[in-house]
Amino acid sequence: MTHLLWGDALFWLLAVVGVFLTGISKSGFAGGAGVVAVPLLALVVSPALAVTLMLPLLLVMDAQIITHHRRTLCPGELRALLPAALVGIALGSYLLTALPEAPLQLLLGGMCIAFAAVQWRRPRLAARRGLGAVMGVIAGVTSTLIHAGGPPLNMYLATRQLARAVWLSTAAAFFASINVVKVFAYQAVDLWELDALLLSAVLLPVAVAGILAGHRIQAVLDEATFQRGVMLCLGFSGLLLIAKGLA
């Protein structure tokens, strides 16, 4: 199927928009915009192909962001999150391959709408013992299914009262770590295809351009306004995915 995508204008339009928004998000907008890439791609390809297309790009973006933020990393927060995230990755990998495509589209559509609502309202959780483990599992599952670990991770980090630089560097290290694990998880469930890797390589300049644009956008656009626009796009994508799953 992937060889048919090279001449598909709609695929390239959605891919460029999704990857560019992800790059902007990775530049310092707390990861929220990255949620939208897989839902957009899943409108024209299978959810499994959408996540495998995005993962190599996320790894490259993670490496660039960690280089920029490495001095403000908080290892203690990673120790609270990563072991639980591994459990979530295992569960998410199982769901990604065990569910037929239509139920998976319904699940992803529901997740998109839920995440859009959560990000819009920005709920404040109380800092509780074990919250890192709970959010780590949820982030692992959602990151594996849709590369959308940002909302649960941000809900946890909001309870930690971290400086913005520490927040961003911790999030970058968390996602870099679990994205490396997801390479092996996707291999274990036989998701990798050569054509998908070639498509990812073609989209790499778009990801880099998104990161560079993100640094400039931060100077003229506040994060709240940017995130609201992205969440509207995410919610609409979720509705389309649900309609596609029902059809």
Q: Give the model confidence (pLDDT) of 152-206 as tens digits.
A: 787 777 777 777 777 777 888 888 899 999 999 999 988 888 888 898 999 999 9
148: nearest Cα among 107, 184, 186, 111: 111
- CA dist., res. 211 & res. 87, Å (int): 30
Give the whole-number percent of the chain exceeding pLDDT 90. Answer: 15
44 alpha carbon, distance to own chain's centre: 18
CB-count exposure of residue 91 (10 Å: 0-12, 13-18, 19+) = middle
Task: Determine the pLDDT at residue 16.
Answer: 92
202: nearest Cα among 35, 56, 21, 90: 56
- Contact predicate 216/123, CB 8 Å: no
Q: Which two tokens stand for residue 19?
A: 């990857």
| The model's pTM | 0.80
pLDDT exceeds 70 at position 30: no
- Contact predicate 60/53, CB 8 Å: no
Task: Determine the pLDDT at residue 184.
Answer: 93
- CA dist., res. 244 & res. 3, Å (int): 22
- Contact predicate 13/5, CB 8 Å: no
Over residues 18-42, mean pLDDT: 74
- CA dist., res. 60 & res. 181, Å (int): 14
Q: pLDDT by residue (tens digit) across 48-85?
A: 888 899 999 988 888 877 776 666 667 777 888 899 99
Residue 225: count other Cβ atoms within 10 Å of its Cβ.
9
